[in-house]
Structure 1
Amino acid sequence: MRKMPLEKRGISDSRLVLGCMGFGGGWNRDPYTTEHIKQAQAAVEAALSIGITMYDHADIYTMGKAEAVFGQVLKQQPDLRDNIVIQSKCGIVLAEDGKLTRFDFSKSHILESVDGTLARLGIEYLDVLLLHRPDPLMEPEEIAEAFGILKQSGKVRHFGVSNMSPGQIRFIQRELPDELVVNQLEMNLARLDWLNQGIHVNQQAGLASNFAEGLMEYMQTENMQIQAWGPLARGRFTGKPSDNPSAAELATTELVAKLAKQNETSPEAISLGWLMRHPSRIQPVIGSANPERIIACKDAIEQAELITREQWNELYVTARGAVMP
């Protein structure tokens, strides 16, 4: 079995990641509670039970409470830190009401963000730090200075980005001595631009695609890990349909359920397995704090190996709601 890029670099062999955005309660300044800690503990235990050893955070998740609650989980289980990989993100600035105000890749903001994250998590270092969303004012030299300080001080071991194009990645990478190891993107059966961009080359339909051209090929060429946020499309095909589901959504939900029954597994495992079957070795970030839903993903790795080209393409075409061009 081929290894994924993070595994090749000795960072993580976890094919799935637990996204911790739902930890800590609401996106407000209300303090987290003992109940929130118990909920996070249950989610982590569920993740560990199916072999998930990598955990994804961001300094803004539930206004910092997600990291703080996870820190309490680590405090209760001191041995856990040495057996997991912790990833967090920085670069988004929120207002007091939780609304996004701007992006900030300045040296001072990056350094302050990491210090805050480490304090909330109660740990000495991050395994991976991602720049959350592109900052229009980003200066590669300044980012490199911040990364250098973090690496030399032992506060961050590896760096990556999120929601970036090949040009943006190259722009930053040119000043960095170490390779960026991750790019995290929205990818699921409802968000198909990452596939449509490729098959729509020299097609009129390509004008409607909203995805950086050549990004998938670039990531594979540079051996960067592609992580998929929102891989289950908020449950759209696994029991939580949108308010006004399209014909394509209904048909896809039916097909996912059919394949799950046929393979004696869950719809979640089919949806994730479809993503993971892609040659780029996509690493899904499961954004749920519900233990039952986390455990429902346990067969995803096996389903990625079992799914045939015919089944994969049937899911793709059905989700597209249109035949291949």
Structure 2
Amino acid sequence: MKTLKLGTSSLNVPVIAVGCMRINSLSMPEAERFVQTALDEGANFFDHADIYGGGACEEIFADAIHMTSTVREKIILQSKCGIRPGMFDFSKEHILSSVDGILKRLKTDYLDVLLLHRPDALVEPEEVAEAFDELERSGKVRHFGVSNQHPRQIDLLRRYVRQPLVANQLQLSITNATMITSGFNVNMENAAAVNRDGGVLDYCRLNDITIQPWSPFQFGFFEGVFLDNEKFPELNAKIDEVAANHEVSNTTIAIAWLLRHPARMQPVTGTTNVERLKDCCRASEIVLTREEWYAISGAAGNVLP
């Protein structure tokens, strides 16, 4: 498994992050096999959130991996906080209490990375800074980042927070790629893709913030996956063609398309199927040509001007 440097940190991480949002759908033997498969593939970076399964996903993961201090040294744990029923909450009190709950459920003393999950309209960045300082000082969190935030929201936090923000987790897939395709149509009156995110892709590249694409197989928000979907015949035909040329699956090519981008992204898988997880990990070794990358983009409907 290839690695990359997470943001400006010294943390070297696999280029594939293993998302654990659906691990609560597995039996314990299935969860154990899922976690062990990830480790066997060199994908030892596990992404969580305190809301996944109402916290159950973190508990199941800790049991499935048989968490001990020895095990903990071999893995990288990331979790997210800031979502409460009916609201978002970046208050100091909520961040601190959330981390304590996360650590208890994961059976660990520290997180490698903590992300703020969804932008809080009522954020007081001074409180976030105080929470981060306390978490860093206590050793409970080693690195910090955000999720689903645009450049100005990140700048606001960075004005007060001392710690580097090393990652920004954003929805991105071949069919949800406006952060990439809006760059095709600069200053075009009839632009096919509109810039709605403040140029977050280029911003993260300029500021050494690692983008972590979530839902890399989804179209829309959570409408479904585009692979083998009759709604996307041209796209699937092209992906299948490229997959055959590389002798890999269409799943592998969908992830490889993201990895080919020079932003050096770290896609977050969402599957609990061990064979599909293996296919995701194989993308680490596939480098699409420029022609292949643009052909897949075009087949998804991203027309060049």
Question: One-letter code of the match for 1:9?
Answer: S
* Partner SS, residue 13 of structure 1: strand
Question: One-letter code of the match for 2:246?
Answer: N
Tell whether the 8 Å contact from 1:18 to 1:286 is kept in structure 2 after alignment. yes
Q: How far apart are the structure 1 equivalents of 2:303 and 2:42?
A: 37
Tell whether the 8 Å contact from 2:179 to 2:199 is kept in structure 1 after alignment. no
Q: Count the aligned residue pairs.
A: 300
Map 1:183-194; keep pairs closer than 5 Å: 183-194=168-179
For the pair 1:264 / 2:252, whether they are aligned, the reply is no
Map 1:85-100; keep pairs closer than 5 Å: 85-94=76-85
Question: One-letter code of the match for 1:11?
Answer: L
Question: One-letter code of the match for 1:317?
Answer: G
For 2:24, the equivalent position in structure 1 comes to 24
Using the TM superposition, give the Cα deviation of residue 192 of structure 1 relative to its aligned residue in structure 2, in angstroms.
1.4
Map 1:241-320; keep pairs closer than 5 Å: 241=229, 245-246=230-231, 249-303=232-286, 305=287, 307-319=288-300
Tell whether the 8 Å contact from 1:230 to 1:285 is kept in structure 2 after alignment. yes
For the pair 1:70 / 2:61, whether they are aligned, the reply is yes
* Partner SS, residue 289 of structure 1: coil
Question: One-letter code of the match for 2:82?
Answer: G
Using the TM superposition, give the Cα deviation of residue 323 of structure 1 relative to its aligned residue in structure 2, in angstroms.
2.5
For 2:42, the equivalent position in structure 1 comes to 51
Using the TM superposition, give the Cα deviation of residue 207 of structure 1 relative to its aligned residue in structure 2, in angstroms.
8.1
Using the TM superposition, give the Cα deviation of residue 213 of structure 1 relative to its aligned residue in structure 2, in angstroms.
2.4
Tell whether the 8 Å contact from 1:237 to 1:256 is kept in structure 2 after alignment. no
- Name the CA shift for 1:213/1:262 in 2 (closer, same or farther; >3 Å): same
Map 1:138-287; keep pairs closer than 5 Å: 138-206=123-191, 209=194, 211-233=196-218, 236-239=225-228, 241=229, 245-246=230-231, 249-287=232-270
Supply the RMSD in Å over aligned alpha carbons. 1.9
Q: How far apart are the structure 2 equivalents of 1:255 and 1:298?
A: 21
Question: One-letter code of the match for 1:293?
Answer: R
For the pair 1:123 / 2:102, whether they are aligned, the reply is no
* Partner SS, residue 296 of structure 1: helix
- Name the CA shift for 1:314/1:117 in 2 (closer, same or farther; >3 Å): same
Tell whether the 8 Å contact from 1:237 to 1:267 is kept in structure 2 after alignment. no
Tell whether the 8 Å contact from 1:19 to 1:286 is kept in structure 2 after alignment. yes
For 2:304, the equivalent position in structure 1 comes to 324
Cα deviation 1:223-267 (Å, max 9, x = unaligned) = 11110001122773434x2xxx43xx2111111111111111111
Q: How far apart are the structure 2 equivalents of 1:324 and 1:309?
A: 14
Using the TM superposition, give the Cα deviation of residue 311 of structure 1 relative to its aligned residue in structure 2, in angstroms.
0.8
Cα deviation 1:146-176 (Å, max 9, x = unaligned) = 1111110110000000000010001001111
Question: One-letter code of the match for 2:253?
Answer: I
Question: One-letter code of the match for 1:61?
Answer: Y
TM-score, with length taken from structure 2: 0.93
* Partner SS, residue 299 of structure 1: helix
Q: How far apart are the structure 2 equivalents of 1:4 and 1:287?
A: 20
- Higher deviation after alignment, 158-167 or 291-300: 291-300
* Partner SS, residue 69 of structure 1: helix
Aligned equivalent of 1:106, options 69, 91, 105: 91
TM-score, with length taken from structure 1: 0.87
Cα deviation 1:28-76 (Å, max 9, x = unaligned) = xxxxxxx632222111111112210100000000111100101112435
- Name the CA shift for 1:138/1:205 in 2 (closer, same or farther; >3 Å): farther
Unaligned runs of at least 5 residues, structure 1: 26-34, 95-100
Cα deviation 1:70-126 (Å, max 9, x = unaligned) = 1112435653211110000000002xxxxxx11000010001100000011110000
- Name the CA shift for 1:7/1:93 in 2 (closer, same or farther; >3 Å): closer
For 1:30, the equivalent position in structure 2 comes to none
Q: How far apart are the structure 2 equivalents of 1:206 and 1:21?
A: 35
For 1:98, the equivalent position in structure 2 comes to none
Question: One-letter code of the match for 2:280?
Answer: C
